[in-house]
Structure 1
Amino acid sequence: MQKSVAEENSMHIYISRVNRVIDYIKANLDCDLSLDRLTEIAHFSKFYFHRIFKAVVGETLNGFVNRMRVERSAYKLIYNPDLSITVIAYDSGFSSPSVYSREFKSRYDVSPTQWRKLKVNQGSKICTADSNLCKEGAAFKMYIDSSKQTPIWGINMKNQNLNIEVRSMPEIPIAYLRHHGYYNPQDKILFQSLFAKLMAWAVPRNLFNPPATKAMTIFSSGHPETTAPEHLSVDVCISIEKETAVNGEIGKRTIPQGQYAVVTVSEGTLAECAEAWDALFNGWLPSSGFQPGDGAYYIYHLNDPEQHPQKLHSVEMYLPVRPL
């Protein structure tokens, strides 16, 4: 049975309010995420909010908060080797290391210490001489870009040569449309559908004016190494002015300022874009002197691949980083 316009509008409002709560949770995992505070953000009563949250997200509010905290810690265990497990436990919002260890083991079936050792051992095997990531003897070479006077890391891969640089980025207000659940980053139909829906909102309001307006994809919840497929989410976005109003399913938030490692793919297939992410995370990062920051990683879309003769993508990929 088809939903009425009123029912669809109500669902859009529910989704928008729940997404606002999700954004707050992710930005404040180390704080006291009380029901009073979350329902205040959502503008729902305490009695109904648990049911509404589960209907939109597919898991309970408490389950979501605990999962976000455990997954954040799992990511830090891999990419922040200088941090002790105790520091990671408190930084991720757990009341004690023992509570953290119990929650971690219930989700991943190993202790935090075992997880860290396992992932470090896996990472050490990624860029071998016959690896997909790099050619023998030509993995990463740093040089100074004379025009920018900044260091650039060159990566010679089997299918493409890439450059990585670290940029200081300002904060970016965005309007977004969120997809909850499993997705394939190379699912062309899904992302075309999401962007079409976002543009149907933005274009009539004169909010999409490239190149001033940036089209982006933000991987805002989870990483394939730490998150079950059904709990992934992704946002398609455009940059906006801070005072821009949003409505319906369209949410609004700000990408924080900070340092970002940036890799550019000038013209590549979706598979080559995926290889570039892999090179950035698993090849460059461990030997760069940087570690991931706490923000989301994202893509700037520099062209419309449907308008390219070979349907190739031009993108910049941004990973938040900070010194080790």
Structure 2
Amino acid sequence: MANLQHLTTEYQNRMNAVFKYIDTHLNTALTLEVVAEIAIYSPYHFHRIFKVITGEPLTVYINRRRLEKAAADLMHKPDIAITELALQYGFSSNSSFTRAFKKFYGVSPSTFRVELPGKFSKIRQPKSKNGQPNFLFERYLWSIQELKNWIDMNAHITTVELPELQIAYVTAIGHTKVKEAYQQLIHWATPRELMQQPETKMITVYHDSFKVTDPDKVRISAGIKVPKNTKTEGAVATTTLPANKYIKGCFTITLAEFEKAWSSLFIWMNEKGYKKADANPFEIYHNDFRTHPEQKCIVDLYIPIQKAI
């Protein structure tokens, strides 16, 4: 297994294809054989590599993704039926989905929907004596009104239509791995003179929400904007962020204020009656915070939203 750890860069691009496939086929039978074929590996070889990269066996990862996606839908899609969610994410029945959800989050889907949106966060859930999360309904770190006041003073918010954005990226599994992912990306981009281009922007894409996913399992893309048809290699891959309508929040904030900024922006979205689209939120950075006199980031936060019918 130790030898595999030195080869994760070689395997990462195939794993990126696997992550995308799983996310778009959660309602199907995602067997080891089917997913291994996407990675172009034998099931035995793929199983070992996948566990090294993600820290989880394939079946555990798939089950977690199904439950987390369902939890996100419960927060952002108040009209969707729980029975529909069960079928959408590959569960054989409403009862099997409810049992799995309650085991994972500590509450039923219906309770989660009613009591937890806006309050629930995997970041700050305390542990019980047996090491499992203790899902008591904790008090907000900031009240909703405080967050609304804070965003009024610290952000300029608009809705914008963005064209497709082509990015080169390195995948990070867990929030502590983002710095390493950016180092890999910059090491690749610098000799290609991509970092010197004025249109180059660093972009962080969040495939998971910290409200429903443990921080050490959140999948994040550390990326930069690149021209179309840019060729990549090793752990660096390319993807396209879709053309869409977005809520755009412009901030000048410290690193410690990012969670507050995201929470506030989602509250603003709900207050204004917008609904989140299925695409991923992301950040675009406009400076190196280390050169800012107050160590602040000049950053735009984007939440994809559904267009009015």
Q: TM-score range by the shorter chain?
A: 0.7 to 0.9
Matching of residue 44 in structure 1 with residue 47 in structure 2? no
Aligned length: 289
Q: Of the candidates 259, 263, 273, which is equivalent to residue 289 of structure 1?
A: 273
Partner of 2:186: 199
Partner of 2:167: 174
Partner of 1:243: 229
Query: How much has 1:172 moved relative to structure 2?
Result: 1.9
Q: Deviations over 1:221-277 (max 9, x none)?
A: x22221123322322101223322221111222222222111001x32223343221
Matching of residue 57 in structure 1 with residue 70 in structure 2? no
Matching of residue 277 in structure 1 with residue 262 in structure 2? yes
AA partner of residue 89 (structure 1):
A
Q: Deviations over 1:90-117 (max 9, x none)?
A: 2333343233222212211221111111
TM-score normalized by the length of structure 2:
0.83
**Contact 1:218/1:236 (<8 A) preserved:** yes
Q: Of the candidates 212, 224, 241, which is equivalent to residue 226 of structure 1?
A: 212
Q: Of the candidates 140, 156, 172, which is equivalent to residue 152 of structure 2?
A: 156
Partner of 2:136: none
**Contact 1:172/1:239 (<8 A) preserved:** yes
Distance 1:274 1:225, change over 3 A: closer
Query: How much has 1:7 moved relative to structure 2?
Result: 8.0
Matching of residue 263 in structure 1 with residue 260 in structure 2? no
Query: How much has 1:35 moved relative to structure 2?
Result: 3.6
Q: Deviations over 1:122-178 (max 9, x none)?
A: 48x97998943134xxx8xxxxxxxxxxxxxxx424xx2x22222222222221112
Map 1:1-324 → 2, pairs under 5 A: 8=6, 10-120=7-117, 122=119, 131-135=145-149, 155-157=151-153, 160=154, 162-183=155-176, 191-220=178-207, 222-265=208-251, 267-281=252-266, 283-322=267-306
Distance 1:298 1:41, change over 3 A: same
Higher-strand-fraction structure: 1
Distance 1:170 1:33, change over 3 A: farther
Q: Unaligned regions of 5+ residues in structure 1, if any? A: 140-154, 184-189
Give the 3-state SS of the residue equivalent to 2:116 in structure 1: helix
**Contact 1:173/1:241 (<8 A) preserved:** yes
AA partner of residue 169 (structure 2):
Y
Q: Unaligned regions of 5+ residues in structure 2, if any? A: 121-138
**Contact 1:246/1:252 (<8 A) preserved:** yes
Considering only aligned residues, what root-mean-square deviation do their CA atoms show, in Å?
Answer: 2.8
Partners of 1:43 and 1:128 in 2: CA distance: 47
Partners of 1:55 and 1:126 in 2: CA distance: 36
Distance 1:293 1:49, change over 3 A: same
AA partner of residue 296 (structure 1):
N
Partners of 1:181 and 1:128 in 2: CA distance: 24
TM-score normalized by the length of structure 1:
0.79
More moved, 234-243 vs 296-305: 234-243
**Contact 2:32/2:47 (<8 A) preserved:** no
Partner of 1:150: none
More moved, 172-181 vs 267-276: 267-276
**Contact 1:133/1:275 (<8 A) preserved:** yes
Identity %: 32
Give the 3-state SS of the residue equivalent to 2:148 in structure 1: coil
Partners of 1:193 and 1:223 in 2: CA distance: 20
Distance 1:24 1:254, change over 3 A: farther
AA partner of residue 219 (structure 1):
Y
Query: How much has 1:27 moved relative to structure 2?
Result: 3.2
Give the 3-state SS of the residue equivalent to 2:246 in structure 1: strand
Partners of 1:245 and 1:217 in 2: CA distance: 20
